Every structure is written in structure tokens, then in C-alpha cells.
Amino acid sequence: MKTEQKALIVTTDTVKTRGLDELNIHLGRGWRVAHVSPMGGAAYGAHQGDAPSMCLAAFVILERPTDSAIDILEQVGEQAEELLDEISEGDGSHTGLPGSKGEEE
């Protein structure tokens, strides 16, 4: 099974978290966490005379099968729309449905 992968970096400090909303959106759309690597922490702000602030980060690899159920349902929906368009534009002769001109008797 083929998989699609995506990499994200999630960071947090004493003021703000970045990347977590994006991660949660992807997880809600069927992606799963394949691997997480901590990227360590770093103090910053001390060089400006401010109190040091800690920053933590994680490198997150997400993946999902390329033929996931959602993708398959989307493809089926697109094919159904195309078929309905063909039927509504044509005379129904190619459908093989009862009453169509192409039906064998």
C-alpha cells in the first residue's frame, strides 16, 4: 500500500504554541502520526536582558494511505456525478437500463 507523507514542526514557548492547530486538522482528516522526534529546547531572550524563555519543538512525520477510504469515496462520488451528467445529457442508449434504446429485447 502506498502512503503519502507530510512533515510538520510543532513548537511551544511560554507565550505561544505554533503548528499544533495544523497538526490537529491533519489528524482529523485521517492522517496518523508515523514518527515524532524531539528537537530539544533552547533558552532565548537572555541576551537582551530579559528573563530566559524556554522553547520546545518536535518534528512530526504524518502519513496516510493514498487509497484511503475517504479518497475512494471521493472518487466514487466524482464518477457518479460524471455518469449522471452523461445520462442527463444523452438519450440513455448507452446505459443498458430498461427502456433505453440500447437495451436488447
How does pLDDT run across 1-52, given as a tens digit for each residue? 678 899 999 998 888 899 999 999 999 988 999 999 998 776 665 555 666 6
Q: Which residues lie below 8 Å from residue 26, measured CB to CB, with a gap of 6+?
A: 6, 8, 62
Say if 103 falls within a structural domain. Answer: no
Total structural domains in the chain?
1
- pLDDT score, position 23: 95
Say if 55 falls within a structural domain. Answer: yes
Say if 89 falls within a structural domain. Answer: no
Say if 42 falls within a structural domain. Answer: yes
| Full residue range of the structural domain in which residue 24 is found | 3-65
Say if 84 falls within a structural domain. Answer: no
Say if 97 falls within a structural domain. Answer: no
- pLDDT score, position 35: 97
Say if 81 falls within a structural domain. Answer: no
pLDDT digits (tens, 9 = 90+) for 62-105: 998 877 667 777 778 888 888 887 787 765 555 555 555 554 54
Say if 27 falls within a structural domain. Answer: yes
Return the C-alpha torsion angle 28, 32, 37, 43, nearest 10: 0
- pLDDT score, position 105: 46
Separation of alpha carbons 10 and 38, rounded Å: 10
Q: Which residues lie below 8 Å from residue 12, measured CB to CB, with a gap of 6+?
A: 18, 20, 55, 56, 57
